[in-house]
Amino acid sequence: MKRKNTNVLLIFGVVIAIILLMIWLFLGTTLEQEANPETDPMTVEQNI
């Protein structure tokens, strides 16, 4: 029983780590696009 509990906590921790990493990467790309509007596809399309 102790072994299964450890596996559940390990899987739970890995899932949370992956979700946090995806959120961090998503926020990083959106902040980068706001800081540099030339790379934002919508802004480039409007400027053409």
CB within 8 A of 43, min separation 6: which ones?
37
Domain boundaries, the chain: 1-32
Average pLDDT by consecutive 10-residue portion of the chain (48 residues)? Answer: 77 96 85 58 56
What pTM, to 2 d.p., does this model score? 0.52
Residue 24 amino acid letter: W
